[in-house]
Amino acid sequence: MSEQERRRYFRIDDHVGLQLTAIPAADEAAAIRNFADASARAGLINELRAIRETHLSQRRSLESRFPTVAAYIGSLERQIDTLAFALDDRDDFPRNPDTPVNLSGQGLSLLTDLGLAVGSLVEVKLALFPDRSRINALARIVKLDGGENGAETALEFTHLREADREAIIHHVHAVQRVRLLAQTLDE
Residue 82 has what pLDDT?
Answer: 86
* Beta strands at 121-128 and 107-112: parallel, antiparallel or unpaired: unpaired
pLDDT, block means (10 residues), the chain with 187 residues: 63 97 95 80 75 89 94 93 76 88 97 90 95 92 84 96 93 95 88
**CA–CA distance, 167 with 46 (Å, rounded to integer):** 6
Number of helices and strands (H, E) in the chain? 7, 6
Whole-angstrom Cα distance, residue 168 to residue 71? 28
DSSP letter for each residue of 142-171: EEEEEETTEEEEEEEEEE--HHHHHHHHHH
Homologous superfamily of 11-186 in CATH? Answer: predicted glycosyltransferase like domains (2.40.10.220)
Domain boundaries, the chain: 11-186
Q: How confident is the model at residue 1, as a pLDDT?
A: 47
Position 180 scores a pLDDT of: 93
Instruction: Say what the pTM is.
Output: 0.79
Task: Identify the burial level of 146 via C-beta atoms within 10 angstroms of its C-beta, where 0-12 means exposed, 13-18 middle and 19 or more buried.
Answer: exposed
Measure the CA–CA gap between 20 and 138, rounded to whole angstroms. 10
pLDDT of residue 50: 78
Q: Are 158 and 136 in contact (CB under 8 A)?
A: no
